[in-house]
Amino acid sequence: MLTADECIAMAAQYAQPQLYRSRVVMSQHGFGSGEYQYFRYPLPSMISALRQSLYGPLAAIANHWHEAMDLEARFPPDHAEFLARCHAAGQTRPTPLMLQYGPGDYNCLHQDLYGDHVFPLQAAILLSEPGTDFDGGEFVLTEQRPRMQSRVEVVPLKRGDMVIFPVNHRPAQGARGVYRVNMRHGVSRLRAGSRHTLGIIFHDAN
Ligand SMILES: O=C(O)CCC(=O)C(=O)O
Ligand SMILES: [Fe+2]
């Protein structure tokens, strides 16, 4: 999704506090170990462009998912229109974020929900090179299926790769129709080095 040079330049932006509205030290909240910062509006132009251009095709998928899972919300084709809906409901704060992990850091399994309005897919771009910049630190997804034990999926990413994943649930076909699989994501412990990620969430936060 991004070139090596774009990843390096993006990761370097972690050290520019004027770009961010808030910083979270994960250990202080029981979220894991490491830290992240939420961008402030106006977003850097590349992130704003990515958020807008990714949204359209994902909105079509999101609408199919909601129909299949019998969920009421439908998503307009333009991100600006969806954001206006979030803002009208008091979800006005931007959610794109940069994450930074060092040796021993990890991100506990979680869901990025920030209010009633939830866009059901999100994206993350790995900005560091596994095996060179860091070891360990794998992106993981868990699937919690009704009346079944949980299943884990490791997503092998290289620098510049993007993963698109469910925020809170995804549809799955069962014998008696479609059911909802509850999803969480996280990052396994870094054994060495430093890892940066750009996260793109499409709903804003209250
Ligand atoms: O660092 C990662 O790969 C996970 C980032 C994350 O939790 C997110 O983008 O919402
Ligand atoms: Fe997350």
CATH of the domain at 95: 2.60.120
50 lines ligand 1 (CB under 6 A): no
* Residue range 149-193, pLDDT digits in tens: 999 999 999 999 999 999 999 999 999 999 999 999 999 999 999
Residue 36 lies in a domain: yes
Tokens of 15: 């050290």
Residue 205 lies in a domain: no
Question: Per-residue confidence at 146, pLDDT binned at 50, 70, 90?
Answer: confident
Q: Mutation test of ligand 1: which of 111, 133, 142, 185 has the most ligand atoms closer than 8 Å to its C-beta?
A: 185
* Residue range 73-89, pLDDT digits in tens: 999 999 999 999 999 99
Tokens of 56: 């359209």
Say which DSSP state 82 is in.
H
Before 42, cis peptide (omega within 30)?
yes
Q: What is the pLDDT of residue 66?
A: 98
Per the structure, the count of domains in the chain is 1
* Residue range 41-74, pLDDT digits in tens: 999 999 999 999 999 999 999 999 999 999 999 9
Domain limits for position 120: 4-200
* Ligand nearest the Cα atom of residue 130: 1
**Separation of 175 CA from ligand 2 center, angstroms?**
31
Residue 206 lies in a domain: no
Whether the Cβ atoms of residue 110 and residue 184 lie closer than 8 Å to each other? yes
197 lines ligand 1 (CB under 6 A): yes
Residue 75 lies in a domain: yes
Q: What is the ipTM of this complex?
A: 0.99
Residue 45 lies in a domain: yes
